Chains A and B, each alone.
Chain A
């Protein structure tokens, strides 16, 4: 039979010599290997203080975006809810009244916008479906919660801080690697 690789090694079945049967040379060899590991760098990431960066394409918790003037982009068109395979998104639309131009970008906005994080599969199809660039998946994972209700994120949880008013919160929400948005 032809060998698949050239790494095949014949197993030796000959009885051990006296020295071998004391296992000492083999143990010393092993101890040499473990000793070398004292000097190797350990790859541990000390979690709560150090975090491993997620990949830029990581799909985490949702963010509702604002435009440069700090107005909400979402128009409650419902395309994200339609695209959602897990049916995790619900929303209610409302009409902008005069005087709210600085809060909402267009005439229609989402009065209620909820994502059930227990249903969500973080596929990112809502992000793809959105014609207004209003919803993004961020780089954070969903934190634990005590109740099922706690996993239903409303607008106050999802909406990104206003970049012109809440400067620090905005910087924190944007994070290091997403400065480009």
Chain B
């Protein structure tokens, strides 16, 4: 009987939440590919895709259909099992990050208080770091299993880049954690929402800058898109992939982008907080919906900045990449950490 005493409603509630969030992030990722092309066009004085449907809004579906209906090729010399595992792993890792992000406060439905967060675990940020590091395996395995030297080179680059930048990212984060004293994303957001507290960006501008640069590198976005440097490596680690496996890789990149935007919004920009608005005065459900919209707006702005950077700067050279990572960002992050620690100590007297 003890097994049956399990809170089935909680289970159902969480499953629905997971389904919504997974499908929403897939949908947003779909339209991020469209936005990418439109933003590129906008910055380059072109109209961009505009033929499929009104304003080209059906373009992502056309692209998706194309990817699905393409012939699927597994190279004869590839390691079949790993070749299939690669894109799956990349996608899984990308989607798993969304489980600890607080999308909003909570709603009250059917006399139940439903948190709009899949799991409020007390090591939220640590979990995200763990999963993001797992994402590198998707790239590594894909590049290695293809049995192609360009893919392998790209995978090596990707892995070394991710490892280098994760360090600086972690260090810049420590300063934030010193302020919040918690690893739970929900607690960090709640602290920023509390009356009298500013968003973390006000206390940690340098930390944010470092975190942002590292997030670009982690998502393999320009100027850190060395793993898919077309002109040097043909196409990068997913060169041998076709059909929806390629689609998975491309998609996971966009989902990563959305998730890192969400994490940045939560850590530095108050998550689902709206500036100059006291959410506690509103009805619970209204506040929750406004909160979701606020977080989505922040995510969209971040994604736009990601794209804006992509269509502005060229790719870094490999030595420049390593120089920036190890010789510039890590010392800066350490300095930021020391400074934050010193100020906290001084305030405590």
Whether, in the assembled complex, A165 has its beta carbon less than 8 Å from a beta carbon of chain B, the answer is no
Q: Among residues 1 to 22 in chain A, which have CB atoms less than 8 Å away from a CB atom of chain B? A: 18, 21-22
**Complex contact A34–B312 (CB within 8 A):** yes
Q: Which residues of B contact A40 (CB under 8 A)?
A: 45
Q: Which residue of the partner chain, among B43, B209, B320, contacts A34 with CB atoms under 8 Å?
A: B43
**A49 to chain B: closest CB distance in Å?**
11
**Most chain A beta-carbon contacts within 10 A, residue among B43, B311, B323:** B43
A34 to B324, CA, bound (A): 24
Taken residue by residue from 303 to 338, chain B's Cβ proximity to chain A (1 for < 8 Å, 0 otherwise) reads as 000001101110000001001100010000000000
Whether, in the assembled complex, B20 has its beta carbon less than 8 Å from a beta carbon of chain A, the answer is no
Whether, in the assembled complex, B47 has its beta carbon less than 8 Å from a beta carbon of chain A, the answer is yes
Q: Which residues of A contact B281 (CB under 8 A)?
A: none
Q: Which residues of A contact B209 (CB under 8 A)?
A: 24
**Complex contact B44–A37 (CB within 8 A):** yes
Chain A interface, >50% SS class: helix
Whether, in the assembled complex, A42 has its beta carbon less than 8 Å from a beta carbon of chain B, the answer is yes
Q: Which residues of A contact B328 (CB under 8 A)?
A: 18, 21-22
**Complex contact A30–B45 (CB within 8 A):** no
Q: Which residues of A contact B42 (CB under 8 A)?
A: 37-38
Whether, in the assembled complex, B70 has its beta carbon less than 8 Å from a beta carbon of chain A, the answer is no
Closest to B44 in A: A37
Q: Which residues of A contact B46 (CB under 8 A)?
A: 42, 44
A47 to B45, CA, bound (A): 16
Closest to A24 in B: B209
**Complex contact B312–A30 (CB within 8 A):** yes
**A117 to chain B: closest CB distance in Å?**
30
Q: Which residue of the partner chain, among A22, A27, A46, contacts B309 with CB atoms under 8 Å?
A: A27
Q: Which residues of B contact A53 (CB under 8 A)?
A: none
Q: Which residues of B contact A43 (CB under 8 A)?
A: 45
A27-B45 contact in complex given A21-B328, A22-B328, C-beta closer than 8 Å: no
Q: Which residues of A contact B320 (CB under 8 A)?
A: 23
Closest to A18 in B: B328
Closest to B327 in A: A21
Q: Which residues of B contact A42 (CB under 8 A)?
A: 41, 45-47
Whether, in the assembled complex, A31 has its beta carbon less than 8 Å from a beta carbon of chain B, the answer is yes
A23 to B43, CA, bound (A): 21
**Complex contact B308–A27 (CB within 8 A):** no
Q: Which residues of A contact B308 (CB under 8 A)?
A: 31, 34-35
Q: Which residues of B contact A18 (CB under 8 A)?
A: 328
A44 to B320, CA, bound (A): 37
A67 to B322, CA, bound (A): 78
A40 to B309, CA, bound (A): 18
Closest to A42 in B: B45
**Complex contact B323–A21 (CB within 8 A):** yes
Q: Among residues 39 to 70 in chain A, which have CB atoms less than 8 Å away from a CB atom of chain B? A: 40-44, 46
Closest to B331 in A: A18
A173 to B311, CA, bound (A): 45
Q: Which residues of A contact B312 (CB under 8 A)?
A: 27, 30-31, 33-34
Q: Which residues of A contact B323 (CB under 8 A)?
A: 21
Q: Among residues 25 to 62 in chain B, which have CB atoms less than 8 Å away from a CB atom of chain A? A: 41-47
**A178 to chain B: closest CB distance in Å?**
31
**Complex contact B324–A38 (CB within 8 A):** no
Q: Which residue of the partner chain, among A23, A33, A44, contacts B324 with CB atoms under 8 Å?
A: A23
A41 to B46, CA, bound (A): 9
A22-B324 contact in complex given A30-B312, A31-B312, C-beta closer than 8 Å: yes
Q: Mind listing 8 A-B residue pairs with CB under 8 Å?
A: A21-B324, A23-B324, A33-B312, A34-B43, A35-B43, A37-B44, A38-B42, A43-B45
Given contacts A22-B324, A37-B43, 13 further A-B contacts (CB under 8 A): A23-B320, A24-B209, A27-B223, A27-B313, A30-B313, A33-B312, A34-B311, A35-B43, A35-B308, A37-B45, A38-B43, A42-B46, A43-B45
8 closest Cβ pairs, A-B complex: A42-B45, A34-B312, A34-B43, A30-B312, A31-B312, A44-B47, A38-B42, A37-B43
